[in-house]
Amino acid sequence: MPDAATAMRVVELAGGVGGAKLAHGLQAHLGERLSVIVNTGDDLERHGLLVCPDHDTVMYTLAGIDNREWGWGLAGETFAASEMLARYGEETWFRLGDRDLATHIVRTRRLREGERLTTVSLKLQAALGVRAAILPMADEPVRTRVRTDEGWLDFQTYFVGRHQEPEVHEVRFDGIEAARATPEVLSALAGADAIVVAPSNPFVSVAPILAVAGIRDALDAARARGVPVAAISGIVGGRAIKGPADRMFASLGGEAPSALAVARRYAGWVDLFVLDDVDAALEPGVRDLGVDTVVTDTLMVDDASRARLAGEVLGALAARCRPAVSRDGAGEA
C-alpha cells in the first residue's frame, strides 16, 4: 500500500458490526485520521437509559474491548443487573450487560445535563482510548421503524425482540425531518480525502445516514472536488454477511440479493465498488453501472483480514485521489 494511502483523511459511513470491523482495519492504518459517521436510527431507550447500539459496537471494537465471540457487547460481560430487572418484572429481551450499563448511565446523565450527543460520544471514546472519531449522524433523535405483517415495529423490537423473522414491507425514519448534520460531521466530510461506505445494511444502516439533512449535500460537494467514494458489499454469494439485508432486498428492493443489487443502490454517488472473490462474475455488471471495481476477499474474520481489506481499499482510493492527498504533503506536488 502506498504511503499516500495512510496519509489520507478518511470518512467511513457505518452501521454496527460490519462497520465496526472495517473501522478497526482502517484505524490500524489511519489512527486519528479516520472519522466514522455512525447510524443512530437503531438507538433506543431501555430502563430510562439511551442505548446507541451501532455507536457502541464501533466504539468497543476500536477500543479493543469488544466481545469477539458474540459480535456485540463487551468482552467478559456479565448480566447480574439484567437478571435482577427480570425479577422485578421488567422486559429484558434487549439485555444490557453490567459493564455496558455504565456507558448508558453516563451518556444519559450527560445528555440530561444539556450536552450534545456528539460531545458525549467523543468524551466516551476518549476515555476508552479510541484514536478515530466516531460521530453520530445527528444530535437529534432518529428512530428507524419497519412495517411488517405485525404492523409497525421499532427496529430493535424487530431485530432483537422478533429475531428479524417478520418480513419487512416498508422502512421509515421517525424524527428525520428535524435531524441535521452536526458541525463535526460536516467538518469531517469537508476535510476528507476519501470516503468509504462500510459493508452495512443499505436500507437501515446507510440510508438513515444519507437521509439526514446536509449529509448528502456534503457528500456531493466532496465528490465535486475530486474526493472518491468507495463502497464494500455486505452481500456475499447472495447472502448477507450478517443481519437481514438479503431478505430486505427481496421485500423492499424487489430483486434478489446480490453484490450487484447493492451496487445498484449506490450507483450515481459511489466511484469504486468492492465485491468478494466469490462474486467476481458480477464485476462486469457493476462496471456497466459506471462504477469501478475491486475484487478481493472481503470477509473480515480476524484483525489481520480487517487490516488487509482496509489496506486494499485505501490503496485503491489513494490511486484515485493523489492530488487531494498532496495537500498534506504526502502526494504528488
pLDDT tens by residue, 179-210:
999 999 999 999 999 999 999 999 999 999 99
**C-alpha cell, 122:** 467523543
Percent of the chain with pLDDT over 70: 96
Say if residues 197 and 232 touch (Cβ distance below 8 Å): yes
Q: Is the pLDDT of residue 324 over 70?
A: no
Q: For residues 136 and 5, which has the higher predicted lDDT (pLDDT)?
A: 136
Who wins on pLDDT, 229 or 333? 229
Distance of CA 296 to the CA centre of its chain: 20
* 188 neighbors 133 (Cβ within 8 angstroms): yes
Q: In this predicted model, what pLDDT tens digit does every residue of 217-268 receive, in sequence order?
A: 999 999 999 999 999 999 999 999 888 999 999 898 788 999 999 999 999 9
Cell numbers at 23, concatenated: 473501522
Domains in the chain with CATH codes: 3-64+118-328 (3.40.50.10680)
pLDDT (0 to 100) of residue 12: 98
105 in Cβ contact with 49 (< 8 Å): yes
Length of the chain: 333
Mean predicted confidence (pLDDT) in 108-131: 98
16-45, pLDDT tens digit by residue? 899 999 999 999 999 999 999 999 999 999
**Which SS3 state, helix, strand or coil, does residue 333 take?**
coil
- At residue 140, does pLDDT exceed 80? yes
Is residue 132 classed exposed, middle or buried when 0-12, 13-18 and 19+ CB atoms within 10 A define those classes? buried
In this structure, the dihedral spanned by the alpha carbons of residues 141, 147, 152 and 156, taken in order and rounded to 10 degrees, is -50
Grid coordinates of 269: 454517488
pTM over 0.75: yes
User: How far, in Å, CA of 41 to CA of 43, rounded?
Assistant: 6
Beta pairing, strands 235-236 & 239-240: antiparallel
Distance CA 315, CA 218 (A): 23
